[in-house]
């Protein structure tokens, strides 16, 4: 494939990226809004454009299990899911990380039942926040496409060997038609070498994987896993840098927009970043000293990048797309509060939970959240969270 710019649905672009990455095994189960990705992949395999095994499993639990098996033998492995599908595979999702099995998942973020809803928010991904996967959030079609390659590169890096989820907002991204630059296969081959797994399951080099741990050794196994995730940070930064050097598109764990002289910032994760930037542009016209902080890397959380991005700011208005029921706020705000806790002159954090299950958050809503949040911060009203747009 030659380098070209296409107007294309983001799900299709992602599937095309998976094919360009020359995956060996795809195992998936249909669930909205991820379906277009796997439908297109099965079509690519059926047409002979990608030589891979497409395993049409009977459940998401088995999808993740098949992925564990194929990754364990050293095959490049891809899957995709959403919401209830992720919930059903949650058990194996954790095990995949503990066994250090590289794979890439397109996680088309959707609300969790109940009540049943097929629309977008981040409650599904927050459920597996602590599983030990690498989590990247993307904002648009190009980022979705690019991060399939970066995802495999990071996940299969011998110093990392961890599963990786590319989180993209369901519908808002998956079903959007956008211009996406496709890189040529030569560039992809240069960037993404074949996976070389040291302890892949094979009769020529027998190993035992997934042994059980007594209390005497469970702690050490968990530390090994934690260190694996921490080691991923430099590999992630390097993979993004090299992708940028090849394509001109660079990614950072924390990205900022007009923050240099900003007194306060709105913090987003996922596709909201695009709208936030537009609203900030408008507010800047009115003299508001506001910027945007976007979290691209959610796990391992880039504490230092975040702290330096918000240093000297008076306040942060954090938009969460999920509730931690009975807790002190949304999961992102919680993370940021703990990242700044006890630091002198740390910015005040005001937390909004907005856009649950795809409820529209328009530019006017962003504007309202930003200005209201700023006012709250100046009055010291920083406890808990506000459920934006709630009736009654």
Partner 1 sequence: MDKFSVFSSRLVEKSENFTSGHRACQGCAEALAVRHVMKALGRDTIVAMSTGCMEIISSPLPLTSWRVPWIHNAFENSAAVISGCESGIKAMMRKGKIPAKKINFVAMGGDGATADIGMGALSGALERGHNMVYVCYDNEAYMNTGIQRSSSTPYGASTTTSPAGKMSIGQRTQKKNMAQIAVAHNIPYVATACSSFPFDLMEKVKRAAETPGAAYVHVLSVCPTGWRIPTQDAIKYGRLAVDSCVFPLYEVIDGKYKLSYKPYKKLALTEYLKGQGRFRHLTDKEIELIQQRVDKDYERILRLSKEEE
Partner 2 sequence: MAKPMEKITWQELEAGSVVTEIGNARVYETGSWRSERPVVEASQCIKCGVCWLFCPDSCIVKAADGHFEADLTYCKGCGICAKECPVGCITMIAEEE
Q: Residue 51 binds what, of partner 2, partner 1, none (CB under 5 to 8 Å, by partner type)?
A: partner 1
Q: Which residues contact 278 (CB under 8 A, 6 or more apart)?
A: 363
Q: Would you say 154 or 350 has its CB closer to partner 2?
A: 154
- Report how many residues bind partner 2 under the rule CB under 8 A: 23
Query: Of these, 58, 204, 216, 260, which contacts partner 2 (CB under 8 A)?
Result: 216
- Determine if the peptide bond prior to 374 is cis (ω within 30°): no
Binding of partner 1 at residue 56 (CB under 8 A)? yes
Binding of partner 1 at residue 61 (CB under 8 A)? yes
- Contact predicate 330/385, CB 8 Å: yes
Distances (CA, A) of 136 to 32, 123, 250: 20, 15, 14
Nearest to 337 by CA among 298, 371, 384: 384
Distances (CA, A) of 130 to 135, 137, 157, 182, 219: 10, 16, 21, 33, 16
Burial profile 111-149: b = 16 or more Cβ within 10 angstroms, e = fewer: bbeeeebbbbbbbbbbbbbebbbbbbbbbbbbbbbbbbb
- Contact predicate 105/163, CB 8 Å: yes
Nearest distance from C-beta of residue 303 to partner 1, angstroms: 31
Binding of partner 1 at residue 66 (CB under 8 A)? yes
Distances (CA, A) of 359 to 43, 114, 258, 329: 32, 16, 27, 19
Q: Residue 73 binds what, of partner 1, partner 2, none (CB under 5 to 8 Å, by partner type)?
A: partner 1
Q: Residue 224 binds what, of partner 2, partner 1, none (CB under 5 to 8 Å, by partner type)?
A: partner 2
Query: Of these, 209, 230, 375, 387, which contacts partner 2 (CB under 8 A)?
Result: 209
Residues 211 to 270: which contact partner 1 by CB under 8 A?
A: 211-214, 217, 221
Rounded Cα–Cα distance for residues 259 and 261 (Å): 6
Binding of partner 1 at residue 57 (CB under 8 A)? yes
State the binding string over 182-211 for partner 1 (x if CB under 8 A, else -).
Answer: ------------x------xxx-xxxxxxx
Rounded Cα–Cα distance for residues 53 and 40 (Å): 14
Binding of partner 2 at residue 207 (CB under 8 A)? yes
State the binding string over 97-136 for partner 2 (x if CB under 8 A, else -).
Answer: -xxxx-----------------------------------
Binding of partner 1 at residue 48 (CB under 8 A)? no
Binding of partner 1 at residue 99 (CB under 8 A)? yes
- Chain residues that interact with partner 2, rule: CB under 8 A: 98-101, 161, 198-199, 206-209, 211, 213-214, 216-217, 219-221, 223-224, 227-228
- Chain residues that interact with partner 1, rule: CB under 8 A: 24-25, 27, 51-53, 55-59, 61-62, 65-75, 77, 91-92, 95, 99, 194, 201-203, 205-214, 217, 221
């Amino acid at each position: 494939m030659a380098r070209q710019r296409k107007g294309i649905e983001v799900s299709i672009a992602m599937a095309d990226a998976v094919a360009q990455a020359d995956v060996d095994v795809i195992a998936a189960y249909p669930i909205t809004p991820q379906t277009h990705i796997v439908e297109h992949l099965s079509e690519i395999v059926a047409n002979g454009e990608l030589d891979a095994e497409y395993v049409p499993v009977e459940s998401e639990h088995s999808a993740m299990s098949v992925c564990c098996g194929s990754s364990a033998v050293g095959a490049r492995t891809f899957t995709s899911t959403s919401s209830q599908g992720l919930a059903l595979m949650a058990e194996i999702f954790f095990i995949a990380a503990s066994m250090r099995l590289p794979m890439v998942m397109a996680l088309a973020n959707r609300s969790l039942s109940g009540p049943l809803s097929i629309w977008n928010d981040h409650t599904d991904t927050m459920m597996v926040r602590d599983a030990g996967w690498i989590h990247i959030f993307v904002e648009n079609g190009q980022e979705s496409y690019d991060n399939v390659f970066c995802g495999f590169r990071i996940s299969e890096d011998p110093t990392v060997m961890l599963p990786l989820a590319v989180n993209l907002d369901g519908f808002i991204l998956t079903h959007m038609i956008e211009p996406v630059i496709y890189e040529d296969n030569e560039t992809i081959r240069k960037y993404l070498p074949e996976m070389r797994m040291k302890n892949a399951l094979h009769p020529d080099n027998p190993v035992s994987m997934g042994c059980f741990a007594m209390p005497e050794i469970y702690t050490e196994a968990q530390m090994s896993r934690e260190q694996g995730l921490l080691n991923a940070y430099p590999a992630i930064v390097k993979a993004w840098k090299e992708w940028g050097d090849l394509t001109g598109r660079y990614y950072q764990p924390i990205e900022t927009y007009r923050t240099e002289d900003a007194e306060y910032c709105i913090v987003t994760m996922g596709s909201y970043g695009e709208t936030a930037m537009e609203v900030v542009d408008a507010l800047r016209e009115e003299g508001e000293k506001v910027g945007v902080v976007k979290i691209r890397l959610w796990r391992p959380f880039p504490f230092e990048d975040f702290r330096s991005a918000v240093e000297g700011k008076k306040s942060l208005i954090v938009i969460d797309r999920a509730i931690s029921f009975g807790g002190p706020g949304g999961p992102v705000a919680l993370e940021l509060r703990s990242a700044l806790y006890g630091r002198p002159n740390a910015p005040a954090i005001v937390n909004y939970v907005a856009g649950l299950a795809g409820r529209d958050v328009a530019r006017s809503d962003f504007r309202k959240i930003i200005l209201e949040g700023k006012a709250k911060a100046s009055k010291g009203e920083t406890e808990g969270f506000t459920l934006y747009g709630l009736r009654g």
